[in-house]
Structure 1
Amino acid sequence: MPALPGFTDNPFQTRSDLVRASAALLNPLEQYKSPQKAFIKLSTDTAAGFDEISAQLEGFARPLWAIASLLAPESSADGLGLDVDSWVCGLQAGTDPTSSEYWGDLGDFDQRMVEMESIAYALLMAPATFLSGMDAVARENLERWLRQINGRKMPQNNWRWFRVLVNLALGSQEEEVVVQDLKMLDSFDLGEGWSSDGLWGSERKQADYYSGSFAIQFARMLYVRFMEDRGLASDDRSRVERYKLEARQFASGFWRYFDVDGSAIPYGRSLTYRFAFAAFWSAVAIAGVQLDEPLKNIGVVKGLILRHLRWWRKQPGIFNSDGTINIGYAYPNMFLSENYNSPQSVYWCLKSFTILCLPESHPFWTSKELPHPLAARPLRAQPSLDEVKLLWPPRHILCGGRSHHFLLSSGQGTTKTHRAREAKYGKMAYSSFFGFSVPSGALLEQMAPDSTLTVSLDDGEAWIVRANPFNVRSLQIPILTSDAAAGMGTVARTVPALVSTWRPKKSVEFEVRTTLIPALELWSGWHFRIHKVRWSPAAIEPGPIRLVDAGFAASGVARTGLLCTERELRKLLDQDAVVVEAWGKDEQSCLILSDGSASGVVDLQRDLMFAPRSGGGRLATQSPALLLQADANTNLIRQRTLIPALQHTLVAESESKSAAEMWLATGIFAVSKTSGIDVKEIRELWLKRPKIQVNANPGEEDEIRIVLH
């Protein structure tokens, strides 16, 4: 895709840089405005699940996040060349029931409720611009159209914030409907400042960027900003102060989702909103919330926003040839989209540009940009204890080492009909460099099952991917010296781990209990998965069972443009070349070297120390290493990928009718290009692996330990 001047060449250092980027993003929309300016319809012509009127309303409303910020009283739109009258005219025409471009009356669960949020923001942030030119009839039309949101049914999720902000813009925040909405929204709290997108329960367990930065936490900060502008009653003051406290708590962990180069770990739904990842940081700044260390200096927050935008400027594939933004992540990709994504939906990314409401003289702009909190760490390759952090509300372990920035995940999921929901919530690991993959079909290569478990209960005819694990808990895994493992020493340290259980089918007696263990600097580039597999042979026919445990999807393309080819793994490791672009496998492992990075898996099951008896099950495969050539365009960041994996074939002992049991252990290896680690060091790290010790205690808690050797 072509570069977009003003964005892809933007240094993103000053306020004027962001103004210039806004112009680059907004100007291509002008050609697609309707005659009365109330609609914008891009030329890509794909459809969302809701009506076309709402889709084209999105095109009008979502740019208002940047436009209204630039028109704030103390702000400045100098250099933007903004046609303000166009947006004012569109607002009047869209809310005028006699206009041919009327946006229509609201129904229950109506998409237009979502677009009311940005319109409410415009009225709150720049009322003089949007209201001063309206006569009494136009104002009455606008107010009548907005007030419809109070009489309609809404989902019990982040949408309730849209109604709260609309009523705030209308000056009627004391209405009973708002009181009930705020009560419901507060019930979504998970602790530590986190909120789920709806009540956490069997139908949904979602705590991602949508609740964290796109909607709930973002809207809370807008509420703080605009409520404090008006003066507060005691009850309002109490809520505002609580939201500030929870923002500080949330921020104390949320910064870990951002790598030192500005990239964020993609996870969850609505990833086509792209740099809306940083919207929470913008909202915190405009709300004037003082964060705690290591974010206490506003220059740290400034750096998180600007580095994130710099990362996105390096992704020209996000733009269509006409300069508009496409649906996708690092390139156009409908596989990852949701049913609610119209071509215009993507402009929710402009929530991050709300920072433009702060004038040039504000401390955010005058302060020095400071580096990422982990950027000053010593140049070691893997996280120390301070760089591995368990965040319990989202059920994530954040790993921020130099070799690779990623998270381990267990416990989220949803029964809602979001496309690729299993890929967006059910994988065991997510990476800022490798991204993750979404399915394009039902075959194994089409499922592109990176960083997850996939099971076939019918010997490969149909595959089921990991989703909605249960019995989720955290624990501390001890790391022992070899003397301690023999009972003669002490525990060197511990590392947090996540444990969860998954059943591919509720009606079939087959389950996998997985323990996810991050590594420290002791085993740079690694994390480990220990699976306890239990099944009833009598309940599974015709058998055998296949289980695929996969690593991160790596680029399958060499610098020449040709696909990476296979080489003997031994020769792949013995080469002296500075750059190696190939893949190889042996009996126990598979490794991909490409794009200056490495991704591999190793079967550690044979090396399990004091491994328990199989309990009536055995492995039929002698060489489990597998290389999956994923379908093109399944990965979010790279169009052509290879996935290293292990495939185990599980069978019950002959004539056994009792429950069968197997222990499997997988080492996952990954080093990103951004780490700066060269091929020679990658080879050394690949060969440095621990021993895993499992003590199975029938009827009691199993013990898993890592042994230094």
Structure 2
Amino acid sequence: MPYLSGFSENPLRSRADLIRAVIALIKPLHPYKSSTGARIKIATSTGAGFSETAAQLEGYSRPLWVVAPLLHFKISASDPALRSLLSDEGLGLEDWIRGLKEGTDPKSPEYWGDVEASDQRMVEMETIAFALLVSPFTFSFMSDPAARANLINWLKQINHHAMPQNNWLFFRVLVNLALVLSLGVPLEEVKSHIDEALDVLDRFYISDGWSSDGPWGDVRKQADYYSGSFAMQFAALLFVKHASSLPVYASRIEKYKEQAKMFAAEYWRYFDINGAAIPFGRSLTYRFAMGAFWAAVSYADIELPPPLDIGTVKGLLLRHLRWWTHRPHTFNSDGTQNIGYAYPNMYMAEDYNSPQSPYWSLKSFLPLLLEEDHTFWTAQERPHPLTQDSPSMVSLGRVKLLWPPRHILISNEEHHFMLSSGQSTTRRFKAREAKYGKFAYSSAFGLSVPCGAFLEQIAPDSTLAVKFDDGEENWKVRYEPYDVESGTVTVEGGDDTLFLRSKWRPWKEDVVIQTTLIASTPHWPGWHLRVHRVSVPKGTDPLRLVDGGFAISAQTTRDESIFEQRVRTELDAAGSNKVEEGWYNDGKGCLVISSAGASGVMDLTDDFVNSQGNGKSIIIRADPNT
């Protein structure tokens, strides 16, 4: 879809701009509402690993991140044009009020069903709790005791069933907070459920404001966007905002504020100066929810330490949203969001991604709830921290080690990317090796996920693939690194830079591969160095290893494929003075220049060791949509 009117051309500068944007995002859902508004099923037929009822509940609940504020505006708006937009029958905001009543009524044909252990319904309760907290008079059914009782009883089920020991525990906290603050349930009745969940969540804390998505250990080492924008920090800031009226939680609120400040101090590094975030980890179909932490910081009125003032936070959020306005292929032809990242892609989806799941992205619009005279709206939007001309910004540096997630963040004019060593999970998430185990992740090139067993289907960008030399299948890619360490090294040119080092085993046999990732320096900006030491026991069959560079589009700016051109061994003489698209391979290195930029790799093995190998540079023509 080339264009979504109201979103794709939106400058996203003002509160009114954001209102128009969210109307554009949720209006296409209207034709897909059930008769009572309790369920939404958009016109795609992909499946998820839970019931269709729960999937359609997702369709109802996730738009509430913006529906609740819009209903408030509809009541209070003084601007006739805005009131007209919000009263549009094609938007149908009141359908969400009726839908909540029907969905929680056991006698209704559209009842959402009873909750069971590890039930997707628990996830969707977070957004319903949010709607109750921000707009209690709209959603709490104060004049309808029967509907109110049904809602209370349905929400209380979250306290009586087992749930995953990860970010889901915050859903239990926020639901109980809504029960107390918006539905009149005595705090004493649910406090033990809140406190027990918070105590477990505290155990996920690593350091420097970072939490893992569950206890950091052999089962999982995950510190991705769930740790900040998707769930952990985001939900903690909702707690900060709405639990402030409960003195018993005063000390915990202060702790969460301090953790948010520490997290914010470096989280901005995941965003390029153009607003693009580095894709990493699971649930990437939540898209611009990557910026939701900045939305929550503003909503909770967290005063961040310099140099992250409110104007800088505003810029980080709005630039990120603007980047997505230029990604038209995230929409189906009817204007609904599709599953994927910058374009539709089921290979990268999780088993819990239903067609309605992408609307988790609407978390990033929390500032809609801030009044027009709030400093978020009155402050001047400031540029990316690394482009602000002040001594405090210059001292931040363009290469930074973040130890809790085991990342080195690199942001320079040539490339914005990160090096990674140390994350993994034993949970059976699709493409987990690709989402957590690669050497590098880039906001410019994204990452590839596998679609099959052959090399071009594994699409091993920014990772090491290894196999015994016994055919074309059975590749293993780098995963579950251990013995992770970091440090500083001096490289060519006399520059000091950072490194991450780790080991991994492709098989249970005693083949051990140690990789040192060395960050960019001013002497070779945009590049990074990988040093592999492969330990192979005597008698082991020969190995084949492929060290992949960054994935890049094969399409030229003329809508041709570079594979329609001949491969060249060197750049033409004029190549240094103009953009010359194509592919180049001299046997020791290769380069692709296309509409997406330039991606290259060089083999330096012979410069370091007397190689016994049979190395060569290749360009992998990866399967489409990987």
Identify whether the pair has TM-score above 0.5, normalized to the shorter chain: yes
The superposition leaves residues 668-709 of structure 1 with CA deviations (integer Å, 9 ceiling, x where unpaired) of xxxxxxxxxxxxxxxxxxxxxxxxxxxxxxxxxxxxxxxxxx
- Secondary structure, aligned partner of 2:618: strand
Length, aligned pairs only: 604
Aligned to 2:14: 14
Q: Is the 8 A contact 2:65 2:130 kept in 1?
A: yes
**Cα distance in 2 between the residues matched to 1:385 and 1:145:** 49
SS of 1:433 mapped into structure 2: coil
* 1:109 has 2:109 as partner: no
State the 1:509 CA deviation.
1.3
Give matches, 1:79-478, under 5 Å.
79-81=85-87, 83-132=92-141, 134-171=143-180, 172-174=186-188, 175-228=191-244, 230-233=245-248, 236-295=249-308, 297-376=309-388, 386-461=397-472, 462-478=474-490
Q: Is the 8 A contact 1:584 1:590 kept in 2?
A: yes
The one-letter code matched in structure 2 to 1:38 is: A
The answer to whether 1:530 aligns with 2:518 is no
Matched letter for residue 207 of structure 2: G
Structure-2 change in CA distance of 1:347 and 1:573 (3 Å):
farther
Deviation at 1:496? 1.5
Partner of 1:627: 619
Return the alpha-carbon distance in structure 2 between the equivalents of residues 342 and 470 of structure 1: 34
CA distance in 1, matches of 2:310, 2:388: 17
SS where residue 529 of structure 2 aligns? strand
Q: Secondary structure at the match of 1:115?
A: helix
Structure (1 or 2) with the greater strand fraction: 1
Distance 2:306 2:595 in 1: 35
Distance change (3 Å), C-alpha of 1:58 and 1:469: same
1:386 CA displacement: 1.1
Is the 1:22–1:80 contact (alpha carbons within 8 Å) kept by the matching residues of 2? no
Aligned to 1:28: 28
8 Å contact kept, 2:495–2:522? no
Q: Which amino acid aligns with 2:575?
A: Q
Cα distance, 1:375 vs. partner?
Answer: 1.9
Gaps of 5+ in 1: 482-491, 635-709
Q: Rate the CA distance shift 1:278–1:55 in 2: closer, same or farther, 3 A.
A: same
1:632-682 Cα deviation digits (max 9, x unpaired): 011xxxxxxxxxxxxxxxxxxxxxxxxxxxxxxxxxxxxxxxxxxxxxxxx
| CA separation of 1:178 and 1:330: change in aligned 2, threshold 3 A | same
SS in 2 for 1:185: helix
SS at 1:221 equivalent:
helix
| Bigger helix fraction | 2
Q: Is the 8 A contact 1:117 1:165 kept in 2?
A: yes
Compared CA separation, residues 116 and 53, structure 1 to 2 (3 A): same
Report the alpha carbon displacement of residue 458 of structure 1 after superposing the two structures with TM: 3.5
Structure 2 counterpart of 1:502: 504
Aligned AA for 1:17?
A: D
Question: Tell me, which stretches of 5 or more residues in structure 2 are unaligned?
Answer: 181-185
Q: What CA RMSD, in Å, does the superposition of the two structures yield over aligned residues?
A: 1.8
Q: Which whole-Å deviations, capped at 9, do the CAs of 1:307-357 have from their partners, x for residues lacking one?
A: 011100000000001110000011111011000000001100000012111
Alpha-carbon distance, 1:232 to partner: 1.6
Do the aligned partners of 1:445 and 1:628 also contact (CA within 8 Å) in 2?
Answer: yes
1:579 CA displacement: 2.1
What's the TM-score once normalised by structure 2's chain length? Answer: 0.94
The percentage of aligned residue pairs carrying the same residue is: 53
Secondary structure at the residue paired with 1:407? strand
Q: In 2, Cα distance between the equivalents of 1:598 and 1:478?
A: 27
Note if contact 1:75-1:356 (Cα within 8 Å) is conserved in structure 2.
Answer: no
Question: Is 1:512–1:533's contact at 8 Å kept on the other side of the alignment?
Answer: yes
CA contact (8 A) 2:553 2:596 kept: no
Q: Is residue 517–residue 529 contact of structure 1 (8 Å, CA) maintained in 2?
A: yes
- Structure 1 residues 577 and 567, CA gap change in structure 2 (3 angstroms): farther
Measure the CA separation in 2 of the matches of 1:410 and 1:576: 35
**What is the letter of the counterpart of residue 510 of structure 2?**
E
Q: 1:385 to 1:143 in 2, by over 3 A?
A: closer
For 1:625, give the aligned amino acid.
S
